Structure 1
Amino acid sequence: MQHERRRHVSILVSLIALCCLLIACALYSGSLGQLFGAGTKLWSIVHGQCVPRWLSEHKPDPCRKVTIDDDPRRGWVILKDRIGRAQHLLIPTSRISGIESPLLQAAGGPNYFAIAWRHREFLADSLGRRLTSHDVILTVNSQYRRSQGQLHVHMDCVQSSVRERIESIKSQIGEEWSLLPLRLAGHRFRARRILVQDTIEQDTIEPDPFRLLGILGDVPTSEMGHHSLAVLAADFGKDGSGFIILDGYVSDRLRGGANGGELQDHDCNLSR
């Protein structure tokens, strides 16, 4: 009996040691941080490679573009994502965790969606062909559907089926948040529109979608992490041109949810 007890204790100790080893490896590799949406890979690329090289050689590599004004906290970079034919990421040089950050609700801060929109030509450059404004989608994932702990705006092609469904109901989308009457990529999203004075090729996304959902909308800052955002260009007939802002809700990491990233088409198989 005593021998059996010692054997069980030995097995338990071995299992605990194995678990500690796995946790240590995960921490070392950064995979545990990615599992909980706090990976540091993007931050390391931006501040370990792109920004230092820009400051020393005035070259953005491995980023596509680096912009740092007098205040580095208002700077940003554009990086080609390893996933997707055309997908790029717009990443602030300031430490901003993600959609849940209160910094994104402050008035007068950089409008990262607008900056990403003005640089969507990087997608066409990667594809080697022209993209229309209606081919592009900008997304920011929920805190519970991301791997990195640094804010990044996805710039990518939109799924053709998503675009077609949006086109079929865009006349029902107004200037207040409301639930769409159909699903996108199998999920329910809310939507509202933004009208612009000029054409969507020349204008910007204003107000800032982060603030439009949060402080100017109906989502408390403490709940923003459960939400995702997506932005698409749209024509509204006699009302003019503008953008459709989509809001998806993600409850946690285990259950399904409406995450903006699911509306992207990494292969850019766009119907013509």
Structure 2
Amino acid sequence: MLSEPPKAFVAAVLKTTRSDALRGRIRLLALGVCSLWVLAVGAVAAIDSNALWTIVHGPCTFNETHFKSPAPCARINLKDGEAGGWAVLKDIVGRTQFLLIPTRRLSGMEDPLLGGDELPNYWIPAWATRKLVAANAKKALARDEIAMAINGAGARSQNQLHIHVDCVRPAVRDELRKRASEIGTDWADFRMLGQNYRARRIDGEEPQPDPFRLLAEDKRSLPLRDDSLAVIGASFADGAPGFIAIAQQAPGGATHLEDLQDHFCKVADE
């Protein structure tokens, strides 16, 4: 496994260097080293299940703390410390896909803290990430053209909780537009495009209450480690903004609701 960048060394050099110009050069050098290091991590991400955690906990947090730059992440929020923070990282797959990643260690859907009071609602900053998706798509996207998803414990490659944020598949968007009136504010069985799910409506501009908590309150969805969860933007017939939460359960969490997304973002080409 690749080790973290030499944080203590760089910090010590910055502290003892009096020349502002030299300090600036050291900052640039450190950022460059971290960027090259992240490229190396990305190259082995397929076999290193801790790659996302290593990037966020390493250079993203370090650079924000010391240089006020989230690089190589696109965004990072540490105002509540690492325990309450989050980062946004551009995924290497697709032109528009981003990942919302907590800055505290959380494994995934099986983590016992999900659905409780201790964690922030990560779906709110994940939803705000849609602006980065639209920027990369070079097109304004409707709220029902953005999907957020977390895969089940048995259907992921990384052992750090992360929410995929990207364009929704056009067929999923069209199906939900036609059938949104069938979805109420309680979890219920919902069959779509040949697959069985459970779905419910969430009202409001932002995804709250926390969708993890809403899923944990549904006894049929327990244990959460067997679930995958997607939250897709919606505009309902009454004009109200909201979301459609979709869950799927499989033994061992072998369920992959990232499949509701389109990493080619074909909706941007319509």
Superposition deviation, residue 259 in structure 1? 2.2
- Residues 172, 228 of structure 1: alpha-carbon distance in 2 compared, 3 angstrom cutoff: same
User: Which deviations, in whole Å up to 9, do the C-alpha atoms of 1:207-255 show, x marking residues without a partner?
Assistant: 11111011x222576x2111011111222223733111000112247xx
Superposition deviation, residue 79 in structure 1? 0.2
How big is the alpha-carbon RMSD for the aligned residues of Structure 1 and Structure 2?
Answer: 2.0
User: Which deviations, in whole Å up to 9, do the C-alpha atoms of 1:156-207 show, x marking residues without a partner?
Assistant: 0000001111122111111111111x333x42111000122xxxxxx21111
User: How high is the sequence identity, in percent, across the aligned residues?
Assistant: 37
- Given the alignment of the two structures, is residue 99 of structure 1 paired with residue 109 of structure 2, yes or no? yes
Alignment of 1:39-188 (within 5 A): 39-107=49-117, 109-180=119-190, 182-184=191-193, 186-188=194-196
Tell me the distance in 1 between the aligned counterparts of 2:80 and 2:227: 32
For 1:144, give the aligned amino acid. Answer: G
Superposition deviation, residue 30 in structure 1? 7.2
- Residues 124, 157 of structure 1: alpha-carbon distance in 2 compared, 3 angstrom cutoff: same
Partner of residue 267, structure 1 = 264
Partner of residue 21, structure 2 = none
For 2:122, give the aligned amino acid. Answer: Y
For 1:183, give the aligned amino acid. Answer: M
Q: Give unpaired runs (5+ residues) of structure 1.
A: 1-28, 197-202
- 2:215 pairs with one of 209, 213, 216: 213
Tell me the distance in 1 between the aligned counterparts of 2:123 and 2:232: 11
Alignment of 1:245-264 (within 5 A): 245-252=245-252, 258-264=255-261
Tell me the distance in 2 between the aligned counterparts of 1:217 and 1:146: 23
Superposition deviation, residue 118 in structure 1? 1.9
Any idea what SS the aligned residue of 1:104 has?
A: coil
Superposition deviation, residue 31 in structure 1? 5.8
Tell me the distance in 1 between the aligned counterparts of 2:143 and 2:102: 23
Tell me the distance in 2 between the aligned counterparts of 1:219 and 1:210: 14
Number of aligned residues: 226
Are the equivalent residues in 1 in contact too, given 2:145–2:168 (CA < 8 A)? yes
- Given the alignment of the two structures, is residue 193 of structure 1 paired with residue 201 of structure 2, yes or no? yes
- Residues 114, 268 of structure 1: alpha-carbon distance in 2 compared, 3 angstrom cutoff: same
Are the equivalent residues in 1 in contact too, given 2:57–2:103 (CA < 8 A)? yes
Partner of residue 244, structure 2 = 244
Structure number with greater Rg is 1
For 1:97, give the aligned amino acid. Answer: S
Partner of residue 235, structure 1 = 235
Superposition deviation, residue 108 in structure 1? 5.3
Tell me the distance in 2 between the aligned counterparts of 1:220 and 1:131: 31
Are the equivalent residues in 1 in contact too, given 2:189–2:198 (CA < 8 A)? yes
- With structure 1 as the length reference, what TM-score do the two structures score? 0.77
Q: Give unpaired runs (5+ residues) of structure 2.
A: 1-43
